[in-house]
Amino acid sequence: MSTVDIRGVTVGYGTEPVLRDVDLTVPTGTTTAVLGASGGGKTTLLRVIAGFLTPDTGTVTIGDRVVCGAGRAVPPERRGIGYVRQDGGLFPHLDVAHNITFGMPRAARRRGDRVEELLELVGLPAVTATRRPDQLSGGQQQRVALARALALSPAVVLLDEPFSSLDTALRASTRQAVATALAETSATAILVTHDQQEALSFAGQVAIMRAGRFSQVGSPREIYEDPVDAREAAFLGDVVHLTGHHTADGISCPLGTVTARGERPPGAGEVVVVVRPEDLSLTDSPGCPHGTVRDVDYHGAHAMVHVALADGTVVTVRVPGRHSPEVGEQVPVSVDGPVLAYPGSALV
């Protein structure tokens, strides 16, 4: 049983802390994605968990063992952790089999079927074993890197942006293979990424890191559908930001009078109304505004339709690609899903 528990971790490289009083619990056998902008401290967190960096304060517990803090510092090789780096970090002069068995005790290395077993686990054919890294695609190299990380049956696997160098198609298939392999080994995994789609689709829990702190930790749906503020909503996906005002009937905004879910705090004054383009539609409803299609970004499966409403506000509506209207058309815009509201004024 290897829950990873991080409590009150503060750490930096100089005078300024990079992580400030960070808490995170990753339940045993689950995957958490740490999502954040570049430079936010994601890799630093992995380094602390792995034991490459000692925090100034706080503790890291793996299972029932405190691995750092409270006067203890278990060295990296004794933490039971597998680490997959952004570039895979394979030894270029060794074939795949030797890359995978590199850290294994000699007795285990002699058991030839372990390599085959690990290759199968990450979805690679047994013939791959004799190839060198430069004879593999980027996605295959990342799968070998995972196989190597899993070779010692670690309780915890840390993945530092392992898919970021791959192109879109390879990225999706490699991600799927890695997710399946992790599920089969029941390892507790932490994936660091700055890709929102990757975080939402890969992990059971997503932790948003902003300036060295977690601004929100929750399931992918909680994070996407109920972000803590307007900035985080925009970080997680496309949004329409509008200024609204409280009235007796709800919040009045350019889309009409709407009822906001999850307003923080509920009450008075001006608010930022946040709605996702997929929660708007080009259909008529009582009291809905109309506008003129100003521009259409066609993406095949869907299109982003930019509509200028009568008061000059421009909103973006996501529609199925085959339903995209022509520029200049007059269209209604209805709210078709949840609306969020936060204190303050719309961001521009």
What Cα–Cα distance (Å) separates residue 145 from each residue in 32, 159, 165, 178?
A: 19, 10, 14, 10
User: C-beta of 193: minimal distance to ligand ATP in Å?
Assistant: 8
Span from 34-42, 114-122, 224-232, 279-287 in contact with ligand ATP (CB under 6 A): 34-42
What residues from 297 to 316 belong to the interface with ligand ATP (CB under 6 A)?
none
Say whether residue 39 binds ligand ATP (CB under 6 A). yes
What whole-number distance in Å separates Cα of residue 164 and Cα of residue 40?
A: 17
Say whether residue 38 binds ligand ATP (CB under 6 A). yes
Q: Residues with Cβ < 8 Å from 71, sequence gap 6 or more?
A: none
Span from 31-39, 93-101, 174-182, 244-252 in contact with ligand ATP (CB under 6 A): 31-39
User: C-beta of 7: minimal distance to ligand ATP in Å?
Assistant: 19
What residues from 179 to 238 belong to the interface with ligand ATP (CB under 6 A)?
194
Asked if 50 and 56 touch (Cβ cutoff 8 Å), the reply is no
Interaction pattern, residues 255-294, with ligand ATP; x per rule: CB under 6 A: ----------------------------------------
Q: State which residue, 13 or 168, has the beta carbon closest to ligand ATP.
A: 13
Q: State which residue, 13 or 107, has the beta carbon closest to ligand ATP.
A: 13
Tokens of 311: 């008061």
- Give, for 24, the enclosing helix (H) or strand (E): strand 17-26
Angle at 304 between CA 171 and CA 348, to 5 degrees: 100
Tokens of 55: 């925090």
261: DSSP letter:
B
Asked if 155 and 50 touch (Cβ cutoff 8 Å), the reply is no
Quickly list H helices, the chain. Answer: 42-50, 96-101, 106-110, 113-121, 138-150, 168-185, 196-202, 220-225, 230-236
Q: State which residue, 6 or 18, has the beta carbon closest to ligand ATP.
A: 18
Positive or negative torsion for Cα 36, 40, 45, 47 = positive
Say whether residue 8 binds ligand ATP (CB under 6 A). no
User: C-beta of 44: minimal distance to ligand ATP in Å?
Assistant: 3
What size, in residues, is the chain? 348
Say whether residue 97 binds ligand ATP (CB under 6 A). no
Say whether residue 133 binds ligand ATP (CB under 6 A). no
User: C-beta of 199: minimal distance to ligand ATP in Å?
Assistant: 12
Say whether residue 44 binds ligand ATP (CB under 6 A). yes
Say whether residue 41 binds ligand ATP (CB under 6 A). yes
Say whether residue 40 binds ligand ATP (CB under 6 A). yes
Among 42, 143, 276, 318, binds ligand ATP (CB under 6 A): 42
Say whether residue 15 binds ligand ATP (CB under 6 A). no
Say whether residue 13 binds ligand ATP (CB under 6 A). yes
Q: What share of the chain is helix, strand, coil (3-state, %, to 5)?
A: 30, 35, 35
Q: Enumerate binding residues for ligand ATP (CB under 6 A).
A: 13, 18, 36, 38-44, 194
